[in-house]
Amino acid sequence: MARVKADCEYIYSELEKMFPDAHCELNYQTVYQLAVAVMLSAQTTDVSVNKVTPALFKRYPDAFAMAEASQKEVEELIRSIGLYKNKAANLIAMSRQLVDEYDGIVPDDMEKLVQLRGVGRKSANVILSEGYKHPAIAVDTHVHRVSVRLHLAAVDDDVNEVERKLMKRFPRDRWSKLHHLLIFFGRYMCSARKPQCESCPFRECCREMKMKG
């Protein structure tokens, strides 16, 4: 047990040294716009999302405007990103729910968030952590991969199990920062296909390196 704690401390402090400025890379002005950007980011990059959101937010700045939108118009504005038809439908439906049930405000409650169309647990965690500054860890593909490689989770753990283990292993006041640190590490050093292992401080404790022998 002590060893796990020591490892976690080491991992956290090295990640902080590497990425002192780790932060959410989606552009937004309000929690509603954050929720929209997070929904758009499924299976695409934050960079692609940031290219479409300025025009989208100008045309539909809040839930009230988006609730009245035509599907075709929203599709046109976001058609450069993947799954744009589904995403357009989800954005409009989610905005109508917000207007009907929450006076246009994104709720700061996990159970309510996951009832919104197109919002899963990962997106809800990003909204809670980034938008409302609640301690939370959103497990996306980067967080999942690097958690396994760093032995913070098991190879066959699903995203819920990875989230549970990270929350158990790191103190609550570090959860939100940890989420950004693991994403930056996964994005800029420990990528899926071309990890930069030669300059990684975790070579000794990495599952991937051990598998390579």
Task: Cite the active site residues.
Answer: 122, 140
Task: Rank residues 85 and 203 by Cβ distance to ligand SF4 and give the closer one.
Answer: 203
Task: Rank residues 16 and 208 by Cβ distance to ligand SF4 and give the closer one.
Answer: 208
> How many other C-beta atoms lie within 10 A of the C-beta of residue 79?
12
How far apart are the C-alpha atoms of 53 and 180, rounded to whole Å?
A: 21
75 lies in the site for ligand SF4, by CB under 6 A: no
How far apart are the C-alpha atoms of 106 and 112, rounded to whole Å?
A: 9
Task: Rank residues 18 and 65 by Cβ distance to ligand SF4 and give the closer one.
Answer: 18
Spatial neighbors of 189 by CB under 8 A, at least 6 apart, are 18, 195, 196, 199, 200
How far apart are the C-alpha atoms of 197 and 36, rounded to whole Å?
A: 35
How far apart are the C-alpha atoms of 136 and 32, rounded to whole Å?
A: 18
Least distance in Å: CB of 26 to ligand SF4? 24
Q: Which stretch binds ligand SF4 (CB under 6 A): 28-36, 104-112, 114-122, 204-212?
A: 204-212
Residues 105/98, Cβ–Cβ less than 8 Å:
yes
How far apart are the C-alpha atoms of 44 and 48, rounded to whole Å?
A: 7
Least distance in Å: CB of 199 to ligand SF4? 8
The interface with ligand SF4 within residues 107-136 (CB under 6 A) comprises: none
Cα dist from 156 to 3, 16, 142, 145, 191, whole Å? 22, 27, 15, 11, 19
Task: Rank residues 173 and 198 by Cβ distance to ligand SF4 and give the closer one.
Answer: 198
137 lies in the site for ligand SF4, by CB under 6 A: no
Least distance in Å: CB of 178 to ligand SF4? 15
Q: Which stretch binds ligand SF4 (CB under 6 A): 58-66, 100-108, 173-181, 200-208?
A: 200-208
Residues 125/137, Cβ–Cβ less than 8 Å:
yes
Task: Rank residues 117 and 151 by Cβ distance to ligand SF4 and give the closer one.
Answer: 151
Spatial neighbors of 7 by CB under 8 A, at least 6 apart, are 151, 205
Q: Using the rule CB under 6 A, which residue among 188, 203, 210, 211 binds ligand SF4?
A: 203
Least distance in Å: CB of 4 to ligand SF4? 17
Least distance in Å: CB of 148 to ligand SF4? 10
Q: Where on the chain is the footprint of ligand SF4 (CB under 6 A)?
A: 149-150, 189-190, 195-197, 200, 202-203, 206, 208-209
